[in-house]
């Protein structure tokens, strides 16, 4: 068997092997049981005392949302001001300038919502201060926000009938102190010992093998790169992200980064099983999500390792696969695997350039973000899947003539309206944004408000359309990766994607919490012979079908105009 394929399989198996015990650990943490890091409790109590917060006070679903949204608003204002003034602040050894208002707006929102869409180049667009005090800070708190929102939903599922769903601030802080921070220290240490910079030195002057003198950026990058993956954030310290040799020095670090970016999303599936004492339900969800991942991964692997047919027709040997835009030290197999796991979850980091992927690969990356329910980001992946469970339960109940129920609660009109709205919001944001940008590109791309004089597409035709479709898909899915042939640092893209980022993040959090809170207040109905079981393979297949059918109906016409058309152009 190909050793590169063995590396891909081993990476996934190691991830799952680590995720199961880690999921059990997180269940203990959030249930308040004894766990490994209980020594953090005095520090947590000190923070609560300073902030004047009572962590034992129960909150209903509305109070949870109020706490979540208000604290995120404060972080946005803080981040916007810091980015707008960074050039005049300290810890700026390379003399990088402040951001423009529209770029500050986009960047602050992007990292606040766990997307990390970067319309700037990492090492030249930020200072060490904003890399740490804004970007790294937001990467921690945005991931903890997603985890806290999910645990609120778990609490609603766990209790039979209740208004109290735990305390948001208690869950949020434990997500930081007992999950994200300890793991980040471990990963950062591995990266630092393998060559990733971890100092405050400025640029270094080097002479390369060709005799050219180059300036190489450095800085305290290891810690930021650790949380960018663990928190499914994805923004790079360097502009080239994890294809940069200092951000991802070798195959070992490549495996570590691939493992840790999927670790928490998969572990939270098993956390559900341990937390609710419904392991079979967790296994079904894991099975559906893994099958969904393979749906996108297998075509991508085949496309990338077989190379470009147009180049093959020229008689060029592509024994290493399609290597355009890829690092030789990783190869086409590891690059293809990374491109799929980073798009089915919301990390969006890259170790190869997605703009150079084969058309089939590009369409699979897009579909990974369009479905937005297989593993997903920290917490929000299962929240998105929860919406499809509600829809699948309702449809299944109608099909078999049973009352739609999930975990002992009836699914009624109000819950279905919320679930349907959230399910339709995702394609609306993507397709409306793409339609608007296509119109502007044809009619107004040379306007000063749209872009610097000249067209913003470096690639016309099918691929250019794919670049615009990808940008809004990445924004709506809180992913952050991009087809980087697009000139996106301008007023039009910064503002429009900024609003898509906000709506694509917070409404899909508000919806599931509202549904869970409403269901938790209803009378609990014990399971009986007439109950529609949701922890079976049959229901898992139903949920997968709902996800894929909604994605197909919403997105296939757009995919036909972009990557599908580009694929057929290689042969005809």
| Confidence band of 455 (pLDDT split at 50, 70, 90) | low
Closest CA to 110 of 424, 412, 482, 538: 482
CA distance 104 to 102: 5
Mean pLDDT of the 230-252 span: 92
490 pLDDT exceeds 80?
A: yes
pLDDT score, position 363: 96
Contact 500, 469 (CB under 8 A): no
Kindly report the average pLDDT of the chain as a whole number: 91
Confidence of residue 2 (pLDDT cuts 50, 70, 90): confident
CA 62 to chain centre: 25
Per-domain residue ranges of the chain: 3-569
- Give the best-scoring range by mean pLDDT among 181-185, 438-442, 448-452: 181-185
Residue 391 to residues 298, 386, 417, 539, Cα–Cα distance (Å): 28, 9, 10, 12
Residue 318 has a pLDDT of 81
Mean pLDDT of the 52-73 span: 95
Cα(430)–Cα(503) distance, rounded to whole angstroms?
11
CA angle 264, 239, 142 (to 5 degrees): 35
- Position 449 scores a pLDDT of 60
Q: Region 400-421: what's the mean pLDDT?
A: 88
319 Cβ contact list (under 8 Å, min separation 6): none
pLDDT exceeds cutoff 90 at 6: yes
Tokens linked to 385: 């899947």
Question: At which residue do the structure tokens 């030195």 appear?
Answer: 201
Question: What is the reported pLDDT for 453?
Answer: 41
pLDDT tens string 533-556: 888 999 999 999 999 999 999 999
Whether 475 has a pLDDT exceeding 90, the answer reads yes
**Among 336, 338, 328, 326, residue whose Cα is nearest residue 300:** 336
Question: Mean pLDDT over residues 496-511, rounded?
Answer: 95
Name the residue among 376, 369, 553, 379 with its Cα closest to residue 470: 369
The contacts found for 237-240 with CB under 8 angstroms, 24 or more apart, are 237/122, 237/123, 237/131, 238/122, 238/123, 239/118, 239/121, 239/122, 239/123, 239/124, 239/125
Going by the DSSP 8-state scheme, the letter that residue 124 receives in this structure is: H
Q: Which of 182-196, 398-412, 514-528 has the highest mean predicted lDDT (pLDDT)?
A: 182-196
pLDDT at residue 338, rounded to an integer: 96
% pLDDT > 90, the chain: 74
Mean pLDDT of 91-105: 93
């Amino acid at each position: 068997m190909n050793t590169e394929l063995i590396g891909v399989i081993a990476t996934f198996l190691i991830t799952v092997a680590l995720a199961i015990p880690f999921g059990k650990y997180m269940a203990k943490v959030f249930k308040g049981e004894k766990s490994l890091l209980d020594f953090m409790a005095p520090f947590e109590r000190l923070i609560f005392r300073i902030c004047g917060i009572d962590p034992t006070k129960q909150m209903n679903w509305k109070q949870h949302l109020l706490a979540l949204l208000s604290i995120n608003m404060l972080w946005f204002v803080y981040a916007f001001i810091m980015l707008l003034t960074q050039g005049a602040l300290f810890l700026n050894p390379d003399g990088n300038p402040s951001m423009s208002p529209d770029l500050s707006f986009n960047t602050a929102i992007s990292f606040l919502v766990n997307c990390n869409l970067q319309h700037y180049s990492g090492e030249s667009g930020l200072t060490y201060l904003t890399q740490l005090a804004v970007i790294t800070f937001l990467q921690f708190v945005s991931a903890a926000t997603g985890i806290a929102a999910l645990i609120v939903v778990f609490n609603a599922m766990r209790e039979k009938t209740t208004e109290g769903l735990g305390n948001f601030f208690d869950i949020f802080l434990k997500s930081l102190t007992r999950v994200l921070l300890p793991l980040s220290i471990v990963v950062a240490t591995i990266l630092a010992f393998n060559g990733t910079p971890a100092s405050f030195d400025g640029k270094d002057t080097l002479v390369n093998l060709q005799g050219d003198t180059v300036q190489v950026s450095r800085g305290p990058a290891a810690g930021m790169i650790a949380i960018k993956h663990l928190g499914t954030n994805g923004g790079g310290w360097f502009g080239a992200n994890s294809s940069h040799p200092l951000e991802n020095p070798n195959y070992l670090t490549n495996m570590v980064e691939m493992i840790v970016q999927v670790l928490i999303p998969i572990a939270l599936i098993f956390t559900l099983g341990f937390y609710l004492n419904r392991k079979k339900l967790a296994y079904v969800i894991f099975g559906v999500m893994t099958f969904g991942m393979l749906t996108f991964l297998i075509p991508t692997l085949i496309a990338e390792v077989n190379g470009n047919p147009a180049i093959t027709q020229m008689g060029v040997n592509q024994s290493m696969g399609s290597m355009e835009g890829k690092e030789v030290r990783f190869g086409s197999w590891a690059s293809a695997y990374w491109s799929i796991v980073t798009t089915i979850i919301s990390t969006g980091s890259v170790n190869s350039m997605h703009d150079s992927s084969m058309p089939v690969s590009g369409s699979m990356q897009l579909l990974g973000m369009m479905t937005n329910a297989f593993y997903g980001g920290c917490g929000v992946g299962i929240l998105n899947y929860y919406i499809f469970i509600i829809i699948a339960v309702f449809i299944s109940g109608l099909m078999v003539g049973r009352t739609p129920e999930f975990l002992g609660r009836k699914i009624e009109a109000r819950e279905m309206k919320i679930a349907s709205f959230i399910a339709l919001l995702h394609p609306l944001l993507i397709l409306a944004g793409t339609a608007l940008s296509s119109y502007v590109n044809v009619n107004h791309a040379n306007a000063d408000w749209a872009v610097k004089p000249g067209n913003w597409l470096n690639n016309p035709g099918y691929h250019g359309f794919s670049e615009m479709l990808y940008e809004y898909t990445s924004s709506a899915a809180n992913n952050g990766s991009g087809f980087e042939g697009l000139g996106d640092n301008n007023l039009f893209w910064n503002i429009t994607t900024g609003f898509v980022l906000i709506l694509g993040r917070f409404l899909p959090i508000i919806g599931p919490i509202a549904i869970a809170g409403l269901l938790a207040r209803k009378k609990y109905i014990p399971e009986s012979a007439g109950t529609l079981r949701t922890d079976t393979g049959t229901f898992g297949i139903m949920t997968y079908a709902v996800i894929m059918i909604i994605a197909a109906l919403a997105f296939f016409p757009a995919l036909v105009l972009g990557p599908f058309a580009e694929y057929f152009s290689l042969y005809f």
